[in-house]
Structure 1
Amino acid sequence: MTNERLHNTMKVRRAEKGITQAQLAEQTGVTRKTINSVENGIFVPSAVLALKIARALETTFDTLFSLPET
């Protein structure tokens, strides 16, 4: 398997909601560093974490995350 990346719009959505990385981390039960790593495409979240992030940002998984075109 190749090194897969998952695109996301977390930073934009977070800004729209006025939520900091630390606040999002607290709401989803992870560290701020984890949120930062997901936002920057360094870490691919588990399905559960991705769904928690989407819920916290009041959006859907498929609106927040996408696979790059091949």
Structure 2
Amino acid sequence: MESQLVLINHLRELRTARHLSQKELAQMVGVSRQTINSIENTQYNPTAKLALLLCIALDCKFEDLFAFE
């Protein structure tokens, strides 16, 4: 049986630690608040470009934001 890799993220934790709303973070990276919500709820996996923009906006490393479960 082949196991599937599930991408998890710590977006909500990192965003709230920096006292940012979903809307504020969305404006910083050029997406909608709904996109941020979908990423936080693992309903949407961001593109590589968006993932890097999120890391820059949150001043964190990629591996601090995303991991495989």
> Which structure would you say has the larger Rg?
2
Whole-angstrom distance in 1 between the partners of 2:58 and 2:49: 14
Query: Where in structure 2 are there 5+ consecutive unaligned residues?
Result: none
**Residue 22 of structure 1 contacts residue 31 of structure 1 at CA under 8 Å; is this kept in 2?**
yes
Q: 1:30 is paired with a residue of what secondary structure?
A: coil
Give the equivalent residue in structure 2 for 1:18: 19
Identity %, equivalent residues: 37
Match for 1:61: what amino acid? F
- How far residue 3 of structure 1 moved from its aligned partner, in angstroms, is 7.3
Q: Report the TM-score when normalising by structure 1.
A: 0.89
Q: Report the TM-score when normalising by structure 2.
A: 0.90
Whole-angstrom distance in 1 between the partners of 2:22 and 2:14: 11
Where do 4+ consecutive residues of structure 1 move more than 2 Å?
2-5
Query: Where in structure 1 are there 5+ consecutive unaligned residues?
Result: none
